[in-house]
Amino acid sequence: MSGRVVTNIKGCLKTNVLTLLTLAGVFGGVILGIALRPPGSEKWAQRDAMYVGFLGELFLRMLKALILPLIVSSLISAVGNLDLSLSGKIGARAIAYYMVTTVIAVIIGIILVVSIHPGQGNDEGIHKDEASSRDTTTADTLMDLVRNMFPPNLVQAAGFQYQTLLTRPTDEELAAYREKVGNDSAEMPKEMFKISGNYREGSNIIGLVVFAIVFGIVISMMKKQGEILLQFFTAMSEAMMYLTRIVIWLSPVGVCFLIAAKILELESFSVLLGQLGMYFLTVLIGLTVHGFVVLLLLYTLVVRKLPFGFVANIVQPLATAFGTSSSSATLPLTIAALEEKNGVDPRIARFVLPIGATINMDGTALYEAVAAIFIAQVRGVTLGLGQIIAISITATAASIGAAGIPQAGLVTMVMVLDTVGLPAGDVSLILAVDWLLDRFRTTINVLGDSLGAGIVNHLSKRELEKMGAHDGDVIKVENGIEATQM
């Protein structure tokens, strides 16, 4: 018995070694920062703090280098590999479910973070960022968003985004306007400013995402002619995920020095701790509402059956998702549980769940939307409607392209920050609790995939009956659970 306990402990440590190391990095960074800057002492000079955070900066640079190849290859391979030959209606239902639930998750996150405002109390916290503000209108921001969806140059889109610039009137123009309206103190409305445009530094992720999705659809439509291209992007996607895993293993060291440097340059560490606690609570409330209210209600309305028995049968995959922080690693258990315990047709489970593990990241989308707006609040940056819409679209796209491995959301989080002009280095503000939130959002991802398979299975009974009974051999999957081979 003791030998089994030791074996289980070793297995648990082996499975969670990255999480334990990341946690050690978080505590190490806090201890290092407090040791270098005792309570009551003044903040360090920016240059001195930069030296401490140099290794963390390198870690962030490696994460940013992964963004474009990871997102583009993942989206092209995911869309290109969609096999709608099983049934166009079944595939359409699965994609519609994933898109709707992801958008709902983002909306819930945005409503909560705007309402709760976890980043308030900034007067003594991190310095406010005035550089991000510029003269613009909501219409201009929304139009820029659409313009960036269709970049004229894909190479340029890898490093620059288009933005509309409004030039303030000269004194002569303002005087002429005031004379015209008969008011010596009137200010010219922004709609009358001179319009120009330029390209600011920062990857046009939205444009590249739109191109990747369309390109993937075209490859899928080409059938055999597109197989070589599809194999290339699939292999590239796998290679980038492997490379991402390697970089993520460096996160404990990067996290340690990023947090230490942030503590050294803060005006007040205690204020940030309060903000971080509210941020953690906001994300947790959002995940709970989405996972255990919205998704369960959606299942009940569609299937006309209470979801509690269905959820009880997938406790093992949910626990595994929480323990491993990986929806991909949980996939075999999820498939087996749905087929064996919930009676989901193997053709549905084997078709819907792999797609879901790739593109359905409700928890990740919600977290990234909340995190981006939280960081803007901490910095004192006011986001307009257009910027919030840009965050929602980018968070949705980022969640689709996120790798199903532990802490891969850090890569796409940098992308979301870049969309609204926030510094990538500010991701260090949330690293202290990211390791734990990663487990919760992965659990919600797996729950959403499973409920989606149940909904699609219920709606597709007629198509499945027309296809005939499913016969197959029994295969073994992880942990000795049997499933049926298609």
Which amino acid does the sequence have at 297?
A: L
In this prediction, residue 88 carries a pLDDT of 67
Whole-angstrom Cα distance, residue 257 to residue 48? 13
Gyration radius of the chain over CA positions? 24
pLDDT of residue 104: 93
CA distance 113 to 279: 8
Mean pLDDT by 10 residues, the chain (486 residues): 65 68 78 80 78 83 77 78 64 86 91 88 44 56 79 88 82 82 78 81 78 86 88 87 78 80 71 80 94 95 93 84 70 82 84 73 85 86 78 74 56 71 75 77 90 92 70 39 36
**pLDDT tens-digit readout, 63-73:** 778 777 877 88
DSSP per-residue string spanning 21-78: HHHHHHHHHHHHHHHHS-TTPPPPPHHHHHHHTHHHHHHHHHHHHHHHHHHHHHHHHH
159 phi, psi to nearest 5 deg: -135, -5
For position 283, what pLDDT does the model report?
92
pLDDT of residue 112: 93
pLDDT at residue 296, as a whole number: 95
User: Both tokens of residue 455?
Assistant: 């909904």
User: How would you classify the pairing of strands 160-167 and 194-201?
Assistant: antiparallel
- Contact in structure between 119 and 361 (CB atoms under 8 Å): no
Of the candidates 429, 360, 389, the one whose C-alpha atom is nearest the C-alpha of residue 101 is 360
Residue-level pLDDT at 101: 92
pLDDT score, position 302: 94
Q: What is the pLDDT of residue 472?
A: 44
pLDDT at 407 (0 to 100): 57
pLDDT digits (tens, 9 = 90+) for 378-437: 888 877 777 788 788 777 776 665 555 555 566 667 767 776 677 777 777 787 777 778
Q: Is the pTM of this model over 0.85?
A: no
Residue length of the chain: 486
Give the pLDDT confidence score for residue 467 in this predicted structure: 66
Q: Are the CB atoms for 206 and 148 separated by under 8 Å? A: yes
Q: Is 198 left (phi over 0), alpha (psi -120 to 50) or beta?
A: beta
| Burial of 132: CB neighbours in 10 Å, binned 0-12, 13-18, 19+ | middle
Domains of the chain, CATH where assigned: 2-129+208-484 (1.10.3860)
